[in-house]
């Protein structure tokens, strides 16, 4: 047997203290609310929406509040809609709406619409589709959706209209972007065929231009060669005329002065006599000019 009996009261006090601390901690957490960054909180008390909006950070609150948290960061909603045009054809359009929830109106949104997701479902999607159908009726042909000016016009009109319509609902629209258009299959094939024909025409134009350029270059080259040949012919004629003139003058001078040939012959004899390879010449004693070559002017003299 234990000689020292256990006193239950000795252990009861610490247990009670721990229980009290746990209760205080649990109840104390009800008095504290932390709103994460990029969000706002809206409190309700017994179903009554509190008008004050709690921004991000630490707050001491009524422990009986129930909370709805709204994400107020920038977001993008994507939508695919079918848009009719005046030619009774429909075009599938991919749309992106860049938006954010107005944190200052979070309490009004919760009271009148509900959560942020319900704002998208109730206000953004049906109005966006309705506006697209309405604006589509101003487009004459389905293929006009591919025109850049039409695309820009639709984007501006959708952005402006949605801003005005959704601002009172607590949604701030930054921009509407039309990202892709899908026309009916037969129109797509027709457009592709038209583009192929246009590309073929452009290719033929480029080939024709290349051929024209080559021919122009050949013509220019032939013209340059012809001009060069003409200039060369003129030069040859001038040289021939000069040589003929020189010969004519020499012949005229010789005819008028027979001694000129004899003088040239004498100069030739001097050159021959100085040449180491000169030969022995036999003089003609019966000639008036017994020296070689000197008789060349006789005929002219006669």
CA distance 148 to 135: 16
CA distance 208 to 216: 12
Q: Give yes or no for a contact between 113 and 122, defined as CB atoms under 8 angstroms apart.
A: yes
- The angle, 0 to 180 degrees and rounded to 10, between the axes of the packed helices 259-274 and 185-256 is 100
CA distance 77 to 158: 14
CB within 8 Å of 212: residues ≥ 6 apart:
none
| Residue 8 pLDDT | 57
The predicted model gives 256-277 an average pLDDT of 67
CA nearest 93: which of 145, 56, 139, 134? 145
Query: Which tops the pLDDT comparison, 255 or 76?
Result: 76
Q: DSSP string covering 22-74, please?
A: HHHHHHHHTTEEEEPTTEEEEEEETTEEEEEEE-SEEEE--TT-EEEEEE-S-
The predicted model gives 83-107 an average pLDDT of 90
| Residue 279 pLDDT | 59
Q: Give yes or no for a contact between 95 and 80, defined as CB atoms under 8 angstroms apart.
A: yes
Confidence at 21, pLDDT banded by 50, 70, 90: low
Q: Give yes or no for a contact between 104 and 169, defined as CB atoms under 8 angstroms apart.
A: no
Above 50 in pLDDT, residue 220? yes
Least confident of 56-60, 147-151, 242-246: 242-246
| Residue 144 pLDDT | 83
């Amino acid at each position: 047997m234990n000689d020292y009996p256990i006193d239950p009261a000795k252990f009861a006090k610490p247990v009670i203290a721990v229980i009290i601390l746990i209760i205080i901690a649990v109840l104390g957490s009800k008095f504290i609310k932390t709103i994460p960054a990029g969000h706002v909180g809206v409190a309700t008390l017994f179903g009554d929406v509190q008008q004050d909006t709690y921004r991000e950070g630490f707050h001491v609150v009524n422990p009986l509040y129930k909370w709805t948290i709204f994400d107020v960061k920038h977001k993008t909603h994507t939508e695919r809609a079918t848009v009719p045009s005046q030619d009774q054809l429909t075009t599938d359009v991919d749309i992106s709406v860049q938006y954010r929830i107005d944190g200052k109106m979070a309490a009004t949104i919760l009271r009148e619409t509900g959560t942020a997701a319900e704002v998208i479902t109730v206000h953004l999607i049906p109005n966006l589709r309705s506006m697209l159908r309405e604006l589509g009726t101003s487009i004459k042909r389905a293929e006009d959706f591919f025109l850049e000016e039409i695309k820009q016009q639709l984007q501006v009109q959708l952005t402006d209209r949605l801003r005005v319509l959704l601002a009172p609902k607590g949604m701030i629209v930054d921009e509407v972007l039309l990202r892709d258009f899908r026309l009916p299959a037969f129109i797509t094939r027709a457009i592709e065929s038209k583009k192929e024909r246009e590309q073929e025409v452009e290719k033929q134009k480029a080939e024709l231009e290349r051929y024209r350029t080559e021919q122009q270059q050949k013509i220019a080259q032939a013209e340059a060669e012809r001009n060069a040949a003409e200039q060369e012919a003129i030069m040859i004629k001038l040289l021939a005329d000069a040589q003929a003139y020189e010969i004519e003058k020499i012949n005229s001078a010789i005819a008028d002065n027979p001694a000129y040939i004899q003088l040239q012959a004498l100069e030739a004899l001097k050159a021959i006599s100085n040449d180491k390879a000169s030969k022995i010449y036999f003089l003609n004693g019966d000639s008036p000019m017994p020296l070689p070559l000197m008789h060349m002017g006789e005929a002219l003299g006669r």
